[in-house]
Structure 1
């Protein structure tokens, strides 16, 4: 795959679900639209490497968000100016923020598990929102209080400490996560030595639907092909995605690298299974609206 520069294509129509092709099984695992034999073998190697590994144990104990760090006020946005202000990260502080530091907070999962984590200050959380600094329209923040918000994580939905910012003109707050994701474990398997037309890295995870089975991924392809495909290997402890490109042209082509959304539907909800990239051998990075989640930095 040629990758001289990255061109993110906005407004692409989500590709059709991948889970409608052929199925093969091996030891209770299921492969759908399994790609080449080499791709299937690589996916199984990744799943086997993570199963029972120290990296998997670290992952299962940590906090790795799979949802946006920001939840908007109800009814957002009132007009195009407010929407533009949020997209461009243009905020204005007209009030005071709590100065008393909160040293520790807890992330809680429905099953009773919890994790003690440091809590960022209101000022630090606000500065992650206000990165625009342009003369355009701005959302006005008049205050903040520490509470919580519900967020999808690698261990399912969790209650996470969050700063609730009061936004002028809105009855409910804008919520911003107040904790930092856990450090990523060292992967138990190396990435594929070189990128090929048959297998490449995913650009990221876009969304997980409420049913827990429908996932939208961001896949890469070039300007002279038939688009990306994503094959799936489901096991008891992981879901491994193998990204490839369909119909690559051998003729002259520009060097643009495009990003397209591809939707896959699993046989059962993700739950606490790891979402892994066959090419990198790592968890699939979650993409936030403005940047990659700090989970993956």
Structure 2
């Protein structure tokens, strides 16, 4: 069944580390504004319906994945779909520490353990487990600490092995984690200590001629609702439109998201590529179905504040 959705009431221009970038060659389609979809006002978008070419592409993606070896491998693997780093209980003490974390500015005072000579085990709440190679504390530290410049910083004084809960493509799982001691904090900062499964080769390539007015690649997945009945992703758009719109095609084996630009207007526009959260409601929970991007023909990557999840890094 095909459905469409509009940006959430709290939709906002997503402020990542680089929230606004200049268009690269091939993305200038947004600078000249058209009127494929009637515009709404504010955060509401009134889409006229999915373009036939985009709908056909979504169907081809679903047909290629459903029952494929790639889908089988995806369901059998460990693919993080949530934050690989968990903050100390209660969050950071002040704005300076929040800024240090956002800019990945850390100082290491102490020695970090090497990877244990054994595999770690990922255990799903729904049942089943999988052995995965362990990462050393230094590798896990590098996931969130990529700078040691002057200014506000956080200080790590050591690490020990523990566990954390993480969202994955197969639902929540308990995974091994390095628990980093932060100077001035009673509880640790946690970072996943096992590597993800290799992404399966997609059974279909990216859409020809994408991006276009009818089909754009999604930037990233933000979250799947706890009941699995909705997903939130970041769609791209420009400065002269009403924002991204996302249609969904649900099958027994997959959920295919097709992103487009809504309410493009005539006139001069600045060449910007913006992102906005869009929530898509589903007819039934995602479950073990593969969440796919129609434009790329690949699973939609989870994107945290410091980039994609380890599965896509």
Specify the TM-score bucket, using the shorter chain as the normaliser: 0.7 to 0.9
> Structure 2: how far apart are the matches of 1:140 and 1:287?
25
> How far 1:213 moved relative to its partner?
2.1
**Greater CA drift, 257-266 or 99-108:** 99-108
Instruction: Provide the aligned length of Structure 1 versus Structure 2.
Output: 276
Structure-1 residue corresponding to 2:95 = 80
Q: SS of the counterpart of 2:138? A: helix
User: Any idea what the Cα deviations from partners look like across 1:104-153, whole Å, max 9, x if unmatched?
Assistant: 11111124321111100112211222212210121121221111111110
Q: Which sections of structure 2, spanning at least 5 residues, go unmatched?
A: 1-21, 28-41
Report the Cα distance in structure 2 between the residues aligned to 1:130 and 1:226, rounded to whole angstroms. 37
Whether contact under 8 Å (1:198, 1:244) holds in the other structure is yes
SS in 2 for 1:180: coil
C-alpha offsets along residues 247-267 of structure 1, whole Å, 9 cap, x if unaligned? 223544332111111111222
Distance 2:69 2:111 in 1: 44
- In structure 2, how many angstroms separate the alpha carbons of the residues matched to 1:245 and 1:216? 16
Aligned to 1:141: 156
Contact 1:144 1:166 in 2 (8 A): yes
Q: Partner residue of 1:274?
A: 290
Aligned residue number for residue 119 of structure 1: 134
1:288 is aligned to 304
1:205 equivalenced with 2:221 (yes/no) = yes
User: 1:173-252 to 2 correspondence within 5 Å?
Assistant: 173-195=188-210, 196-252=212-268
Find 1:156's aligned residue among 164, 171, 182: 171
Structure 1 residues 150-172: Cα deviation after superposition (integer angstroms, max 9, x where no partner): 11100111111110111122222
What's the TM-score, normalizing by structure 2?
0.82
Unaligned runs of 5+ in 1: 7-13, 22-32
C-alpha change, 1:15 and 1:177, in structure 2 (3 Å) is farther
Partner Cα distance (1:194, 1:124) in 2: 38
Give the Cα–Cα distance (whole angstroms) in 2 for the partners of residues 127 and 44 of structure 1.
40
Aligned to 2:53: 38
Find the aligned partners of 1:121 and 1:159 in 2 and give their Cα distance. Answer: 18
Name 2:180's counterpart in structure 1: 165
- Provide the aligned C-alpha RMSD in A: 2.3
Write the distance in 2 (CA, Å) between the matches of 1:154 and 1:292.
14
1:197 and 1:101 map into 2 onto residues whose CA distance is 50
Contact 1:4 1:256 in 2 (8 A): no
- Normalised to the residue count of structure 1, the TM-score between the two structures is 0.86
How far, CA to CA, are the matches of 1:59 and 1:124 in structure 2?
25
Q: How does 1:55-94 map to 2 (within 5 A)?
A: 55-94=70-109
Moved runs in structure 1, 4+ residues, more than 6 A? Answer: none
Helix, strand or coil for the counterpart of 1:242? strand
Task: Give how far 1:100 is off.
Answer: 6.2
1:213 and 1:49 map into 2 onto residues whose CA distance is 24
